[in-house]
Homo-oligomer: A and B are copies of this chain.
């Protein structure tokens, strides 16, 4: 199994079946992405016409390739698929990604061809991803065998998606924050290999810390949940399950021939398997960053520190609604806070620094994290430097220096929060507003990227931080109680 999957994710050579010189075709575009991505192994494009593409010799048949390549990427039209699979088998190829669509998701005759392909492949010892998929990514192997020209860096997020475009949405969002991917697999119709096969592989994959998954329906629910439960004990699986409504289920059927099944059953079983559920893509991304950057909380007792009253109320509401315990502050915490907060502070949780010095929030977070009464802290805001200057310099060089100063200051503030988290072994989850300088550089993006490089994340809204914390708490409960 492991070796088989290494052929997918770290192939020494690949055949590209259906290569084209027509730049509008997938047979060109995907190959171009493989080349642009910098794949280091041998690439064997195949097309009956022969010739050359992107500086590579095109082989006129699979047979002609001088070795049995580790991996085949297949984009030939549906009509030629059975023959292509036969040739792969007889060449001794063991792993293939079938990108081509037009099988079980289209109609009954497509389903029959798909069955035939799987039969031939299994008989010949060939494992398949797809058909009807976007391809796969494995940045550590510089393998970017997918449709759109995007190249996420190497990272710790794995993506197992029944939808290629959703998988790539995930990769793009992660990239925008300079987080990378370990593997991305667009599993398509799952004719041979299923979602659970990849969960099983990723559970033991050192490069992967968090598994993200988009699922329309399961081929083998029993095995899926068995594997998912074993995997969840090793690393979190964060999942979107769609098709819970009739409209969504019907769309899923025509998309990947998926049968969505009962939402109630799915929800119950996935809870037992420790799967972390996301209601939408933004939640999925927020959870991914949370699990990447924070330790798992040991309980649901939360202290909240805030630079602004309204954000505090929003966070308290969001936490309580989710079932987190917004604790009453113990006397020792109150008295320690009394020593430096303005006399009129509320003695309440959230602890509002009441428009005093912004640096106070770091002290408040430290005191809340230190207390035995909390399992986690939400920090709504970090110390910020931009009051230091009311008016921007006009000189280009000075302006850039000023921007660098702001970015560095934020990195320092986030670093302090992260240090507190490490000191007490509790998550300190930050939601904060970052300076957006209109008409100037998008400095908020620069800040977010700079802190992401240090494995830290800034949520943009208080309820996002609460949602992430709650899901991490539940995952912690699964780890402790099974």
Contacts and interface: CB of A to CB of B under 8 A. Distances in A.
Nearest to A28: B390
Interface in A154-189: 161-167, 169, 172, 175-176, 178
Contact of A346 (B26, B254, B463): B254
A113 interface: no
A247 B317 contact: yes
A309 interface: yes
A166 B314 contact: yes
Interface string A314-333: 10111111000010000000
A320 B165 contact: no
B310 A164 contact: yes
Nearest to A153: B438
Contacts of A242: 310, 313-314, 317
Interface residues of A, number: 83
A165 B308 contact: yes
Nearest to A132: B309
B251 A313 contact: yes
Contacts of A349: 247, 251
A352 B255 contact: yes
A204 interface: no
A307 interface: yes
Interface in A327-382: 344, 346-350, 352, 354-355
Interface of A: 26, 29, 32, 36, 101-102, 106-107, 147, 149, 151, 153, 161-167, 169, 172, 175-176, 178, 214, 216, 240, 242-248, 250-252, 254-256, 279-282, 307-314, 316-321, 326, 344, 346-350, 352, 354-355, 386-387, 390-391, 433, 436, 438, 442, 444-445, 460-464
The 10 closest A-B pairs by CB, nearest first: A163-B310, A165-B308, A248-B317, A245-B320, A254-B346, A166-B310, A255-B309, A247-B326, A247-B320, A247-B316
